Structure 1
Amino acid sequence: MDHGASAYREIRFTVQDGLTLVARDYGSAETGATPVLCLPGLTRNAKDFHELALRLAPRRRVLALDFRGRGRSDRAADWRSYTVPVECTDVLQLLALTGIGRVVAIGTSRGGLVAMALAAARPAALAGVVLNDVGPVLESEGLIQIRRRLDGATAPRDWADATEAVKAANPGFEGLTEADWQAFARRLYRDENGRPALDYDPDIARTFPTEAMLESGALPPAWPSFMALAGRPVLVVRGANSDLLSAATVKAMQTAMPALEAVTVPGRAHPPFLTEPEAEAAIDRLLGRIP
């Protein structure tokens, strides 16, 4: 299996405020199957979806986007553009550029919120949705942990230090080998002349609620956005050790949307890798339901 850059093409495109964004393009547009669009988390990027995309590419085209300020995409001159509505508009420009009218969106954390926004902005564009450890209610505990990681983010001294930092920050991930942890670190950081560096614009932290705001419960539920997904296949994948998406919220999502499938991945915190057997099987079931 090819794990390198030769496994995908790189799409570079300019969005409305002049930034150049980058997406990975796996597989062939000629398969006839509805393409998959992968949308990463707050400070994450397309690298998170590489293994998933390799697995799906023989059967369908897969796009994986680096949101603005992440990965290989340009950093914004105005940090206030790091918002879900702007990122949704960027996604629509990618779809317009590629001539893709309809996708299955796989959204991890922040990417799932963008998928919900896409459902409201362009309902016909979504054939199905996978929400990876995200829903209409996000637990304050998990949000506070994200806030603290943003506040304490620094570039590690070397890759060994990066691996240890990832282990310390992700205690809810169980059963990983040393090679797994090293690969995890490579997804979170980029390589600059052999040393790890942050792979996102630190100004993204300026858009995130303060710890005091999160403790006061200032982030309202997003049930209307979630319900915009109704009428199409929806899968929610939850890490059993997640501190962001609770089991109670998943149950409420199923009550509100009875056709929704929910899968819990054991030994995973926020968010699962989507390469776990439980996640892979559930994604394949959802894709099998897409006309």
Structure 2
Amino acid sequence: MLTARLRTVQWLSPTGLKQLGYREWGDEDNPRVLLCVHGLTRVSEDFDTLAQALSATHRVIAADMPGRGRSDWLEQGALYAVPTYVSACVALVARANAEHLDWLGTSMGGLIGMAYASMPGCPIKTLMLNDVGPSLDLAALQRIGQYVGKSPVFLDKASARAAIRSISTPFGPHSEAQWNQLCDSVLVQRDGGWTTHYDPKIGEAFQTITAETVAASEAMLWAAWDAITAKTLVIRGEHSDLLSKATCQAMQSRGPKAECVEIPGVGHAPTFMQDDQIDIIRRFLA
């Protein structure tokens, strides 16, 4: 098994210099770079299985977004937003010395990728969005807001695993070992027990979501979508409550006119720990 190289890069946040943690697999001199960005409460380790499978053809890099995993936290909850994350990713791409790159973003990571790919001169040539698009479901966002940022402390690891697993059931079927990996990667020991790895302030934005704020966000996201020129793939979980079939159809007809693939038996969002899901990425990159 190929061990990830754990590294950090310094980037300029709105409040000063911060450290961004990231993992890297594969040949350090490989010019074919795949940058993977996780979802809202997840971490870079989510892409370990995928990176193992693709490391022969790609240098795979996965970042812990600010406020998560090994990366520094930010002073204000309002700073946990797409423009901030894009700035951190620009520093990481510069560190990687990647003239061109492929991007795989899950949920929040896909929104970051859309914003980055819409900019003139962006190095993203292949964009893969995992269960996210320019239209966002209000009820799904409110569902996420019910747990994000709460950060309870559990007395033992078994209870913590059970809590993480209960909110992660939309990920679909996984083996017991895979579930333990998905749970353990987002748990840390703190305050005499086990809790989530991220800054609770990332949940603040979800407490003020309204239909009006979602509509305003969607208008900006569709404008970004229409500016993207990268070859684009959209992956949707069959039972996703965040990305609808109607949105996928619209994404096929405008902007980069994406190819869309649906994964059966999965909600929000596929984890790319299963061979059939990995093959979707492998085929698109080929």
TM (norm. structure 1) is 0.88
2:217 to 216, 220, 223: 220
- The offset of 1:145, in angstroms, is 0.8
Q: What is the count of residue pairs matched by the alignment?
A: 281
Matches of 1:159 and 1:165, distance apart in 2? 10
Equivalence for 1:114: 112
Matches of 2:112 and 2:33, distance apart in 1? 17
1:198 partnered with 2:196:
yes
1:68 partnered with 2:63:
no
Q: After the TM superposition, which of the residue ranges 117-126 and 56-65 deviates more from structure 2?
A: 117-126
1:185 to 164, 183, 186: 183
1:105 and 1:76, CA in 2 relative to 1: closer, same or farther beyond 3 A?
same
1:98 and 1:173, CA in 2 relative to 1: closer, same or farther beyond 3 A?
closer
Q: Which amino acid aligns with 1:228?
A: A
* Structure 1, gaps ≥5 residues long: none
Equivalence for 2:167: 169
Q: After the TM superposition, which of the residue ranges 41-50 and 275-284 deviates more from structure 2?
A: 275-284
Q: Deviations over 1:192-239 (max 9, x none)?
A: 59953211100111233525x158855532211122323x22111111
Q: After the TM superposition, which of the residue ranges 172-181 and 134-143 deviates more from structure 2?
A: 172-181
SS at match of 2:185: helix
- The offset of 1:250, in angstroms, is 0.8
Equivalence for 2:98: 100
1:69 and 1:123, CA in 2 relative to 1: closer, same or farther beyond 3 A?
same
Q: Is the 8 A contact 2:138 2:211 kept in 1?
A: yes
SS at match of 1:30: coil
Q: Is the 8 A contact 1:264 1:278 kept in 2?
A: no
Equivalence for 2:78: 80
1:279 and 1:227, CA in 2 relative to 1: closer, same or farther beyond 3 A?
farther
- The offset of 1:57, in angstroms, is 1.0
Matches of 1:27 and 1:195, distance apart in 2? 35
Q: Which amino acid aligns with 2:217?
A: P
Q: Is the 8 A contact 1:238 1:265 kept in 2?
A: yes
Matches within 5 A, 1:147-166: 147-150=145-148, 152-166=150-164
Q: Percent identity?
A: 33
Q: Is the 8 A contact 1:237 1:279 kept in 2?
A: no
2:140 to 136, 139, 142: 142
TM (norm. structure 2) is 0.89
Q: Deviations over 1:84-105 (max 9, x none)?
A: 1111011111111222222101
Q: After the TM superposition, which of the residue ranges 65-74 and 193-202 deviates more from structure 2?
A: 193-202
Matches of 1:215 and 1:179, distance apart in 2? 42
Q: CA RMSD in A?
A: 2.3
SS at match of 1:272: coil
Equivalence for 2:272: 274
Matches of 2:101 and 2:191, distance apart in 1? 37
Matches of 1:96 and 1:122, distance apart in 2? 16
- The offset of 1:173, in angstroms, is 4.1
Matches of 1:193 and 1:152, distance apart in 2? 15
SS at match of 1:80: helix
Matches of 1:38 and 1:243, distance apart in 2? 22
Q: Deviations over 1:28-71 (max 9, x none)?
A: 13334x20001111221101111111111121101101111100
Q: Is the 8 A contact 1:233 1:286 kept in 2?
A: no
Q: Deviations over 1:155-177 (max 9, x none)?
A: 33322112221332234344333
1:130 partnered with 2:156:
no
Q: Is the 8 A contact 1:170 1:269 kept in 2?
A: no
1:268 and 1:117, CA in 2 relative to 1: closer, same or farther beyond 3 A?
same
- The offset of 1:9, in angstroms, is 1.4
Q: Is the 8 A contact 2:149 2:204 kept in 1?
A: no
Matches of 1:145 and 1:201, distance apart in 2? 19
SS at match of 1:19: strand
Q: Which amino acid aligns with 1:74?
A: D
Equivalence for 1:235: 233
SS at match of 1:29: coil
- The offset of 1:76, in angstroms, is 1.2
Matches of 2:154 and 2:216, distance apart in 1? 31
- The offset of 1:142, in angstroms, is 1.0
Matches of 1:272 and 1:55, distance apart in 2? 16
Q: Which amino acid aligns with 1:11?
A: R
Q: Is the 8 A contact 2:225 2:255 kept in 1?
A: no
